[in-house]
Amino acid sequence: MIITVVLGHVRYSVPEEMKPESFVGNIAIDLKLDLKKLPTRKTRVVSEKNDRYFRINMDTGVLIIKEKIDREDVCKHMPSCILPFEVVLETPLEIHSIAVEIMDINDNAPSFPAQSVTLEISESALPGARFLLEGAHDPDVGINSLNTYSLTNNKYFTLDVKIGSDGRKYAEIVLENSLDREVENEYSVILTAVDSGNPQRSGTQQIHIIILDANDNPPVFIQDIYQAKLHKNSQIGTYVITVKATDDDEGSNADIAYSFSHTLDLPPKLFEVDPKSGEVSLIGQLDYEEARFYDIAVQAKDGGGLVTHCKVIVDIIDVNDNLPRITVTSFSSPVPEDSPHGTVIAILNIHDLDSGENGQVRSVINHAFPFKLKSTLNNYFTLVTDRPLDREETPEYNITIFASDKGSPPLYSNKTIFLEISDINDNPPTFERSLFTASVMENNPPGSSIFTVMAHDPDSCENSHLSYSLVDTQYQGMPVSSYVYINSDSGVIHSVQSFDYEKLKELQIQVKAQDRGSPPLSSNATLNIFIQDQNDNAPNVLYPMQEDGSSLTEIVPRSAAAGYLVNKVVAIDADSGQNSWLTYQLLKATEPGLFTVGVHNGEVKTVRHILDKDVTKQRLVVLVMDNGQPPLSASVIFNVAVSNNLPGALSEMHAFSEESEHRTDLTFYLIIALASVSSLFLLSVVLMVSLKFCQTTHFGLIDLASATLPAIPGSYASLSYAGAEGRQIYSYEFCLASDSRKEEFP
């Protein structure tokens, strides 16, 4: 407690806010007053307005606080607060001036007029801009009053504290850095005002800084590059992608319209972008083969006219929608059948417009064909021969090339090429057989056709065009061309002459067929022509000899029994076979029923006893007939004299004929003829037997029964052999009157 005794004055100082009854100063001592007299002297505090704060304790003579003093209330803003009053004593009146200085204590914190304030700053404000703040107020004085301001730490705003003309401190917010509403559109900072009292007091105010928009932001795409995929066969209207741009500005500054940027060349009418939603869609037909991707520039424009671009890359995805395409780039047809292995027939291009696996092609052809596909570079294939060709076996091919891609599912295609094989003369003509046999009737008219040979050549055209000819050989000392000729085109063989079986029984010729190829090929065959007999020779009666109407007379004894052999007619026929098969019959007789002629052997015999009434001179006409068609015949007349005795008979005989001289000769000739016929036959038999043993049984089959031929009286021996092919049987038949009795000849 400080007691200040100012001249004539007593001065105390007390801090404000002291409790009532608090000690201010000992008046009694300081004013040298008698303590005991204080009450009686009505010692009191007198003041116009300050007596309410102080009173005097009569017992102690101490000035005490009557009521709590708030310096700020009492003295407002006065830098010093002195409360003057008087202490008045009566009897005697004594007036003392007392001054009590109320000393400030820091009982007030700085305070702001509002808890929070809002400050609007345009984002375009430049750094250094200042914004005045309403200051805080501290009713305390001196060091207890407002000392300074501070701001919560932030990087945009600082505080500049200034003292105004009224001595008050105020603060300005200074913009330190550029603002970006779009980064932070408001800030909240705390402004703190502090005094220097002890303890220090402070007050705070929240400052709400709102950043006002300026169109300082272009639209910004969420992505710089958008990627989308589209199947190449996508339908019109297919959604592609949505681009999105944002604009940090506000209002119309953030109204974005999307469009294509026309700076890049884009196929017109292929895509469109919705100006509002940014949705890109397909409005045209994609052509994968033209472009595998599209690079579209999309721009976003805000209401303030700021423009940003982004890229939309649309990748076109292949789908397996193209068939492999087979193109024949070169093709040669026909190809010769002798083309060497590996001959190129066609060059093919097989490709698929799809890409990747969808465009990889595989191709095959029928393995059964003598061709193969060889892959060359770049989808080119060659079709080459793989095995020898044979036009005669397969003259043409429909070669189908199958191609498939490796897509899933794969697509297939095929192409057929028609290949012809051209002929090479690689086949000789062939005859149906190597040996032909033909037969022709003798007496054929010259030029008549005998046979047709036929050869075949599997080649074509000139290579199969055949001409026939005869191989120039000799037959029986004559060139074959003097017997037959052949039509070179038709192969028909004609006779040149009329054949006579009795002279030529068989003819063997070689026929040649030759094609017109280059070089020509030929082959030949043998033709055996057998001349067939015709009944062109009448029987020839060898015995009895007929000479100028006269005839032999035979003598028959009247006593001859039935069956008596009178004579035998011997005839031969130059023909053969049936045509030489002779039969005998009695054509005319003087006495019918007396004589008979053996049908086969020509034996004239009596049928019965000769009766007395039978005339002596009998005349017989015997008909010899061959078996041809029509038959030819000859007749022989002979006389029979019936006699009772030999002389009579002899005279009869003389009377009959005068040709007895010749008869022996005739018989002799007949014997020679018969012997020669027999020996010819025997020779034939021997020849046949030897052939039988030399050759196979196939050829020359001999009827062994024929060997006993001579034992069969008057029979026809039939000797047969089969031709090589077993087709035709040629019969040679010999007629022989084997049992002609020598004794019958006189």
Which parts of this chain interact with ligand NAG (CB under 6 A)? 396, 398, 418, 471, 510, 523-524
**Nearest 10 degrees: Cα torsion 462, 463, 467, 470:** 150
Helix (H) or strand (E) holding 417: strand 412-422
User: Closest separation between CB of residue 345 and ligand NAG, Å?
Assistant: 15
- 537 and 631 in contact (C-beta within 8 Å)? no
C-alpha 266/C-alpha 154 separation (Å) is 50
Rounded to 5 degrees, φ, ψ at 669 are: -65, -40
User: Closest separation between CB of residue 490 and ligand NAG, Å?
Assistant: 21
User: Closest separation between CB of residue 451 and ligand NAG, Å?
Assistant: 18
User: Closest separation between CB of residue 459 and ligand NAG, Å?
Assistant: 17
* Strand, helix or coil for residue 42: coil
* Omega of the bond leading into 592 within 30 degrees of 0 (cis): no
Residue number with CB closer to ligand NAG (106 or 524): 524
DSSP string, 516-580: -SSS--EEEEEEEEEEEP-S-S--EEEES--BTTB--EEEEETTPPTT-EEEE-EEE-SS-GGGG
Q: Which residues contact 159 (CB under 8 A, 6 or more apart)?
A: 149, 150, 151, 171, 172, 173, 174, 191
User: Closest separation between CB of residue 572 and ligand NAG, Å?
Assistant: 40
C-alpha 198/C-alpha 185 separation (Å) is 40
Residue number with CB closer to ligand NAG (485 or 669): 485
Q: Are strands 169-175 and 565-568 parallel, antiparallel or unpaired?
A: unpaired
Q: Which two tokens stand for residue 74?
A: 């009492």
C-alpha 526/C-alpha 511 separation (Å) is 6
User: Closest separation between CB of residue 404 and ligand NAG, Å?
Assistant: 22
Residue number with CB closer to ligand NAG (431 or 543): 431
DSSP string, 49-101: SGGGTEEEETTTTEEEESS---HHHHHTT-SS-EEEEEEEETTTTEEEEEEEE
User: Closest separation between CB of residue 439 and ligand NAG, Å?
Assistant: 22
User: Closest separation between CB of residue 369 and ligand NAG, Å?
Assistant: 11
Q: Which residues contact 419 (CB under 8 A, 6 or more apart)?
A: 333, 334, 335, 345, 396, 397, 398, 399
Residue number with CB closer to ligand NAG (183 or 471): 471
- 494 and 447 in contact (C-beta within 8 Å)? yes
User: Closest separation between CB of residue 473 and ligand NAG, Å?
Assistant: 7
C-alpha 508/C-alpha 484 separation (Å) is 11
Instruction: From 731, 737, 699, select the one nearest 718 (Cα to Cα).
Output: 731
Q: What is the CA radius of gyration of the chain?
A: 82
User: Closest separation between CB of residue 512 and ligand NAG, Å?
Assistant: 7
Residue 688 carries which side chain, given as an amino acid letter? M
Residue number with CB closer to ligand NAG (471 or 599): 471
User: Closest separation between CB of residue 523 and ligand NAG, Å?
Assistant: 5
